[in-house]
Amino acid sequence: MTVSVVMAIAALTGWGALPRISYAQDQGWSRPVPISPQGQFGWFPDVAVDVTGQIHVVWASGNTRYDTVMYTTSRDGQAWSAINDIAAFPQVAGSEASRPGIYIDRHDLIHMTFRSTTVYYSRAPTASAFSAGAWGRPQPVSGAQVAYFSRVARDGQGILHLIFSENVSSTSCPICYHIFYRRSEDDGLNWTPPVDISRLATGSAKMQLVVDGQDNLHVVWEAGRGGSYGQLEDPTRVMYIASYDRGITWTSPGEMNTPDVRAKAVAIGLGREDQLVVAWLSLPEDRVYYQTSTSQGHSWSAPQPIPGVWGGWSLYPARLDDYAMATDSAGDVHLICVCRTAENQSSLSVLHLRWDGAGWSVPEAIMTLEGDVPEWPRISVGRGNELHVVWYVRDQKHIWGESPDGSAPEFQIWYARGVTSAPMVEATAMPLPTSTSEPQVAAQTTPTAPVEPTSVPDLTSISAPSYSESDGVILLLQSLIPAALLIGIIMIGTRLWRR
């Protein structure tokens, strides 16, 4: 569907009028708040909560000089720390979305992957993650071609598992991003060689990874031609793959949706007794379907629509959007999506639903927008029963791309907190990591141009800056103070002399 057609539909349905916003009436959810400054471009956030209950949020940002990973943290979801850029890439030939993803392990190390045109890995203690200097030197973990999505998780044996998408060019498909896998047994210091686990003749995007109680790995993704800048050509489908030996070998990819439909935006969660549940958008019906497995992914239930939930594709064909899941202490799986609760609904909502192992709860809208568009929701569970949800909002003026007046997009990061009936887990003091190796100082990196590169940047010889971009501004102002004083003295002397 072309942009012009979508805009025509929007005009006829009334969607696209002046932005309007409403919030959930359920007392279990806080009022959503923006956590990135207005006017500062922000998108593709991620969220994680440590064992003390501290909330950590990262997102992609940028200006005319740098593509950055921004970070903020909060104890209660109301008061947030000052925003800091913890990674920055100089823009060489256009802007790149840094696409950060974070994972916090039981030792309260925060593991992060992010990108320029290469995917990098870094880590930091959660207690000092606000400081760019606390993060390990960014380590390139993708190959020689352009890479995009990435996720990392840790199993019960302490092994880190990493997946990322990277272009594998062929005559039949010049731009087709495959999914690669690597693992680390020493807290991310060294990684096994990358292995192509998608093994499809088409591309991939939006991979998600969960590790079950038996340390089996389960990966889902959206498949189709392409994958550059996170987008795939139609028709797309959703795929599943598993490893039952901690990433040594992998099953053949299997298609979740039925062949007669297109599918997008797949999410995977882990419920009671390692029950797997996936949800995805079915097109052209524009309904959200789900499937479950009680056999560790060896077999799946037939696809069924989630009651009372419609997708948002009919209003806004969001090729970059995705769904997200997380599990509370009771084993209930919580799904977050940008969806609708009625087929004729002319607005888009950030919806929350709960899967209890047998059925879905009534969907509740955390935020509903008309005009502006929410996108890319992410969820993390803290202290057993606290749901922390982030997403970004495209301002109405720039939903369809650049505005005719040439103004910059005003995409903003939002946050909301919910509480479930699951048992609360008392916050604990941070345990010491098992590894004795100390993270290296974070380095400023120089990426290759945003075309298919022929080599991975070598970061080992790049010295680390001791201050951020904001610190540089302060230093500049400080350096101008003596000159300003001198000029002031001269002006005063001149006036006195003239008198």
DSSP-derived letter for residue 260 is T
Specify the CATH number for the domain of residue 48. 2.120.10.10
Confidence category of residue 282, pLDDT binned at 50, 70, 90: very high
- Residue 323 belongs to some domain of the structure: yes
CB 378 within 8 A of CB 336: yes
pTM: 0.82
165 in any annotated domain: yes
Q: Quick check: 192 pLDDT over 50?
A: yes
Give the integer Cα–Cα distance in Å for 197 and 250.
Answer: 7
Residue span of the structural domain in which 441 resides = 21-466
Structure tokens that stand for 257 in this block: 């949706």
pLDDT value for 415:
98
- 409 found inside a domain: yes
User: Residue 350: what pLDDT?
Assistant: 98
Please, what is the average pLDDT of the chain?
83
What pLDDT score was predicted for residue 408? 76
In a domain, 367, yes or no: yes
Digit-coded pLDDT (tens) for 34-45: 999 988 889 999
Domain count, the chain: 1
Sign (positive or negative) of CA dihedral 42, 47, 50, 53: positive
Number of H helices, E strands in the chain: 2, 29
CA distances from 91 to 94, 98, 447 (A): 6, 11, 8
Q: What is the pLDDT of residues 420-471, one digit of tens each?
A: 999 999 877 654 444 434 433 333 333 333 333 322 233 322 223 322 323 3
pLDDT of residue 17 exceeding 90, the answer is: no
Greater pLDDT, 208 or 318? 208
pLDDT tens by residue, 60-109: 998 778 999 999 999 999 999 999 999 999 988 778 899 999 999 988 89
User: Each residue of 228-262: pLDDT tens digit?
Assistant: 888 999 999 999 999 999 999 999 999 998 888 89
| 10 assigned to some structural domain | no
Residue 7 domain-assigned (yes or no): no
Examine residue 483 and state whether it is found in any structural domain, yes or no: no
- 131 lies in some domain: yes
